[in-house]
Homo-oligomer: A and B are copies of this chain.
Amino acid sequence: MKTLKDYSVSFEKLLKEYQFPGTPSNLYDPLSYFMNLGGKRIRPLLTLMSAELFGGQAEEAYPSALSIEFFHNFSLIHDDIMDKAPLRRNQQTVHAKWNDNIAILSGDVLLVKAYQELQRHNPAHVSKLLTIFNKTAVEVCEGQQMDMDFETRSDVSVHEYIDMIRLKTSVLLGGALQMGAIIANATEVDQKLIYDFGVNLGIAFQIQDDILDLYGDPEKFGKQVGGDIITNKKTYLLLKALEVQKGNEVDDMLLIEDMNLKVKKAQEIIKKLGIFDDAQKLKSHYQQKAMTALSLIDVPGEHKNVLIELSDFLFNREV
């Protein structure tokens, strides 16, 4: 059976062979640059793995894998403008290196390029692929808007937060997997199960991300520990803490001006309120849901190993 590494090598080769047109260079150079910044390429690997899980060949799923990775990068380019982020993977973002207009337009054309890959599939699959891709793309935009809306709202519930991360980040994992399943002619029941596996895995992963942001090992964590709490970002940990606090201790913590002290205080309070444990439980809950969906898929167990390897890779990281 193929390993995670095997899929990763094939996809990197595919991506390396892909060439954007040469002109207009202000439209396409930013895309060659940005696609080359690297990343784990989790989403397209899921598409390839899913196609093979259901008896197809990874090669048949190459256009959809590229499409998903293009879509993901389109959303990062536009999100970086909206967040005014200067850096991505320690390199300049597109709007910082060029300008906002170029980042808007090259993001737009990258989204179209994502659809252009879809059209390469067998016409018998195109309509179904387009349907799940569109649904996912709309949801990702909705999740991004909810996230932006949360910044200025003071009444965000934990329930809304989970809904936001489901849309903003998790449905794309589910969609990537379902597209592989469609290409391999999986049944609708199996398509639904692999989709659910991806969405629940994504939610669990995002909750882990929130936990690591506050409690990650500073030696291993690539970015500043406590970055979310420093910017008062409404993560699961903070929203839950605001919900269950005794008195105003969480509100008071948010007002601390010394950032090291603020992070230390947040770590203490959130642990004391039992929210560190809650978050671990919630993460396990979604992981469990993902694994249950995977277990119900009607294919030989050993075909599922690489998806379990990928999950382990995602959850055993400390950075």
Contacts and interface: CB of A to CB of B under 8 A. Distances in A.
A27 B141 contact: yes
Number of copies: 2
Interface string A127-140: 10011011001100
B101 A146 contact: no
A189 interface: no
Interface string A114-132: 0110110001101100110
Interface stretch (A58-66, A103-111, A196-204, A258-266): A103-111
Interface string A238-256: 0000000000000000000
A24 interface: yes
Classify the interface of chain A: helix, strand, loop or mixed.
helix
A264 B111 CA distance: 44
Interface string A79-103: 0011000000000000000001110
Interface of A: 23-24, 26-27, 78, 81-82, 100-102, 104-105, 107-109, 111-113, 115-116, 118-119, 123-124, 126-127, 130-131, 133-134, 137-138, 141-142, 144-146, 148-149
